[in-house]
Structure 1
């Protein structure tokens, strides 16, 4: 599994599943491995920041520069562990998906913010804060 061009064995799949608390099925691990190999263009066994930026959704994300610090140089096992945080099965995802519909909506974020801030802000102030944050993310130019 050290070389991206090598094949994934059953042992590798099970090891990655265990490393990620079984948040992904074997089929999902294999699919992620194929995607990992596509991103690892030089087949060195890890993905560089430049390779991550080749994914348009990642490059356009307002948090991409912060995320790059976390993902630069990830091997396959750590790549899957990183992605597991975004899985609908992950505990942290469930914290934000307050209505349990499999999506983190604007309403969910407002509810989390209400729980964090309490009565220090009104519902209207929280909504203005979230709306202005979203607007700032859209207006920030991508270098």
Structure 2
């Protein structure tokens, strides 16, 4: 089945996607097989409904936010279609990597590959930035925390966690977390490891 799927992918397409994402040709071929199996109607793109048929996403409390990320990063210019290149581009954020050099921790330092530390942080930031205004408010943080824990923690406890997180991360005291503050708050977190999924061997 893997070889069959590569008939539609031209070698130049595979090379271009590989250069952009860091996936090997055989990994791209396997991802294409997965993409075509999700594209039941052979439209050449995936809709939100296609993604929500993935069992792991359907049961994930942040499934909607993860699906949203695929459409946010789509270069098609439409909000309801994700082509294969966009599909691979998002998955590349989760490709395991070696530890980044210190120069990669600053904007513009090191390679800007989809799975660099900075790109992984951008991706994580967008999970919390519900309205897309490049800031995380206490209400957005509270909404995402609620999605993650459901009814396992009381609303008062969640509000307390959100308030404490904002007060600790908000260095300019404007009541919001900017991307720069988000990066600073996660400075000692092993983002490379936590945002890596070994979905291909």
The CA distance in 1 between the partners of 2:94 and 2:6, in whole Å, is 26
- Count of residue correspondences: 99
Compared CA separation, residues 136 and 64, structure 1 to 2 (3 A): closer
TM superposition outliers: structure 1 runs of 4+ over 4 Å: none
Establish whether residue 76 from structure 1 lines up as the match of residue 101 from structure 2. Answer: no
The CA distance in 2 between the partners of 1:11 and 1:5, in whole Å, is 12
The CA distance in 2 between the partners of 1:6 and 1:75, in whole Å, is 16
Equivalence for 1:137: 148
TM-score, normalised to structure 1's length? Answer: 0.58
**Structure 1 vs Structure 2 CA RMSD:** 2.9
Equivalence for 1:58: 57
Contiguous gaps of at least 5 residues in structure 2: 72-80, 98-114, 122-144, 152-201
The CA distance in 2 between the partners of 1:38 and 1:61, in whole Å, is 20
Aligned residues of 1:49 and 1:71 also touching (Cα < 8 A):
no
Aligned residues of 1:85 and 1:92 also touching (Cα < 8 A):
no
Compared CA separation, residues 136 and 74, structure 1 to 2 (3 A): closer
TM-score, normalised to structure 2's length? Answer: 0.43
User: Can you list the C-alpha shifts for 1:66-96, whole angstroms capped at 9, x where unaligned?
Assistant: 1222324210001000000011122239x79
User: Can you list the C-alpha shifts for 1:86-143, whole angstroms capped at 9, x where unaligned?
Assistant: 11122239x79xxxxxxxxxxxxxxxxxxxxxxxxxxxxxxxxxxxx6x973546xxx
Aligned residues of 1:13 and 1:26 also touching (Cα < 8 A):
yes
Q: CA deviation at 1:17?
A: 1.0
SS of aligned partner of 2:94: coil
Contiguous gaps of at least 5 residues in structure 1: 97-132
Compared CA separation, residues 139 and 14, structure 1 to 2 (3 A): same
